[in-house]
Amino acid sequence: MCDHRRVMELDSYWRTRTIAEAQSQGCTHLRVTCAGCDRVTDMPLRMLLGHSRVTLESFIGNLPLRCQKCGSATPTIGVGHRS
């Protein structure tokens, strides 16, 4: 996970940060945990930038995310990096 482990535990911290800020801290993936069914998905930040409504300046907490399994739209958000 990202070097800022202490900060990453706070879901609200990432909800107020942009994709560019997360990338500048060395993070490459968005970890999304569904509040409805606890499904965990790691999404590359580059993949998110492929959507027309998402830019580097988009707040991570405003990304239009919905669980494919249960339909919940209220995920828990964290970020991380992979080697």
- Give the DSSP letter of residue 49: T
Give the pLDDT of residue 83.
52
pLDDT at 69: 92
- The mean of the pLDDT values for the chain is 81
14 — pLDDT class (breaks 50, 70, 90): confident
Express each pLDDT in 40-77 by its tens digit.
999 999 998 988 889 999 998 888 889 999 999 988 88
**How far, CA to CA in Å, does 59 sit from each of 5, 18, 38, 39, 43?**
20, 4, 23, 22, 15
Least Cα distance to 68 among 46, 45, 36 occurs for: 36
- Give the whole-angstrom CA distance, residue 38 versus residue 75: 9
CA atoms within 13 A on the CB side of 63: 30
